[in-house]
Structure 1
Amino acid sequence: MATAPKQGLPVLYKDLVPLNSADHGSWKSISVDKAPWVAKQHAIPLTVEEFPQAQRDFPIVFSAGDNPVPLALMGLNDGVNVFFDDDGSPLDTSAYMPAYIRRYPFLLAKLDRDTTNLSLCFDPTSGLLGEFEEGRPMFEADKQPTQHTTELLQFCEKFEEAGAKTQLFMEEIQKAGLLMDGEVAINRNDNPGQPYIYRGFQMINQEKLRELRGDQLRKWNENGLLPLIHAHLFSLDLMRFIFSKQSAQGKGPSLPAGTAAAAN
């Protein structure tokens, strides 16, 4: 039986446990060729550093609500991911893999609300860590982290740094009032005249973008923010590509209305 996610945990994570030599000194991590934990996820968090690569494969949108985050849409309907089969087998190995997925099951988290220190944690329900005969050890015989564990920690630290940059980006575009509720209408050949409408996400308001002052645009161009906005806007054309892949895989919507990026 699947374990229900604990309230407040990020997408994909069902539980979090701090990695430590006392409890996990003999544990190993294994690599797998399937990712069932992501097979039903249609929207995956993205950092701004990933925009240039991600925009080639996924529509990049922003979640709804007061604290939006960038999302890579791997499907347009809840529970649909056109880049993975139902068992988690990748369907397109050439597509960019978001760092959020590559980081799983690890995560840096606060163990004490009164401190800013972050500890390396993992999702024990993932089945990727345990007392396996095969795999990569997490700790040496003297209980010190192995090189593998050190590299995992460094990857998670870089992800946190990218997350901080992403937050600054989001604050900047929100301060400029550029976000608007998104809506995309897609016609299907077998149902002309009755488009499928996708809502539940935010996008850049291009009219307000054109109204920005020249000095603001120059500043954003110099600090790299403007190219990120353009990457988002260009990527929106992939909505129809994702829709076509859904239909080809038999995962297309059965109703005229859908939610492309609900609240994750």
Structure 2
Amino acid sequence: MASAPQNSTLPLFYNDLAPLNRQDHAGWQSRGTDRAPWLVGQHAIPLTVEEFPMAQRHFPIIFSGGDDPVPLALLGMNEGVNVFVDDEGVMTDPVYLPAYARRYPFMLAKLRPDSEELSLCFDPTSGLVGEFDDGAPLFDGEEASETTKGMLQFCEQFEIAGQKTAQFVAELKKHDLLMDGELALQIDGQEQPFTYRGFRMVDEAKLREVRGDVLRGWNQSGLLPLVYAHLFSLDLVREIFGRQVQMGKGPIEAPQAGAPLPA
């Protein structure tokens, strides 16, 4: 029997992690749901670069602060607010859901800190995996079921996309293109705008100064369209802010807010 992953800090959404194995979970099932309570109050979700073209149609794409910036889908302008789900986690609009959220309650994790091997794990508190009377079996006799194989493949693809995302961010950092972001939004009837900080974004002035041969290489590799997908997506900030105000969850006073990287 494999030991549980040694995670001192669990990732966003996950309350616990257990390695999936036939010995302990032979009769367990995985079932779907029409609500995602783990999304309630989550205003920023990690995003991979492969998702930029689809994600930029629905919400702003920003970068977290710190030494290792990560792309984030911005689903609300203030911490604790997600304008796309109700209080029970039901999606209120048909928007793109990032792969990070779609893989829940599963993920790949290290079972031992001295090994680079990743194993399929799940959050046993999710209510989506257990000894249910209904659902899709996780195992078919001695073998993993098609459901489990499909989720393993999805999680493996997510890890590969994560590596590509890290390379993308490294290229932006190499050319010093990420700057501290600031957004000022005005509400009708309010004299002062609400200013949001605490995130990073591509510096368009520096982007215009990048050498032509570098830009050609980025265009050929597909990196340049991703940069512009991020920049174009920022126009949706006002829409997210407006939805938040309509929900009665607008800021009461001008904040110094942003979208920090979820743990």
TM-score, length of structure 1 as denominator length: 0.95
CA shift for structure 1 position 96: 0.7
Give the whole-Å Cα distance in 2 for the aligned partners of 1:44 and 1:258. Answer: 20
- After superposition, residues 2-41 of structure 1 pair within 5 angstroms as 7-41=8-42
Contact in 2 for aligned 1:200/1:263 (Cα 8 Å): no
Structure 2 CA distance for aligned equivalents of residues 132 and 229 of structure 1: 45
Aligned residue for 2:214?
216
Mapped contact 1:54–1:72 kept (Cα < 8 A): yes
Q: CA separation in 2, counterparts of 1:41 and 1:257?
A: 18
- State how far apart, in whole Å, the 2-side matches of 1:182 and 1:32 are: 36
CA offset digits 1:84-138 (Å, max 9, x no partner): 0011011002x11111110001000111222221100001111111100011110
User: 1: distance between equivalents of 2:58 and 2:238?
Assistant: 12
In the alignment, which residue of structure 2 is the partner of 1:48? Answer: 49
Contact kept in structure 2, 1:17 and 1:121, CA below 8 Å: yes
Counterpart amino acid of residue 23 in structure 1: D
Deviation, 1:14, is 1.3
Letter matched to residue 121 of structure 1: C
**C-alpha separation between the residues in 1 aligned to 2:61 and 2:133?**
41
Q: By how many angstroms is 1:143 displaced?
A: 2.8
Take 1:7 and 1:244, find their aligned partners in 2: how far apart are those partners?
38
Distance 1:169 1:96 in 2: 21
Q: Distance in 1 between matches of 2:37 and 2:53?
A: 27
Q: What's 1:132 paired with?
A: 132
Residue in 2 aligned with 1:144? Answer: 143
Amino acid paired to 1:96: Y
| Counterparts of 1:92 and 1:148, CA distance in 2 | 27
Alignment of 1:1-264 (within 5 A): 7-93=8-94, 95-140=95-140, 142-191=141-190, 193-264=191-262
Assess if the C-alpha contact under 8 Å between 1:59 and 1:72 holds in 2: yes
Q: Which runs of 4+ in 1 moved over 4 A?
A: none
Are the aligned partners of 2:47 and 2:98 in contact in 1 as well (CA < 8 Å)?
yes
Note the residue ranges of structure 2 that are not aligned, 5 or more in a row.
1-6
Identical positions, percent = 58
Aligned equivalents of 1:27 and 1:152: distance in 2?
Answer: 15
C-alpha distance in 1, partners of 2:247/2:261?
25
Residue-pair matches, total: 256
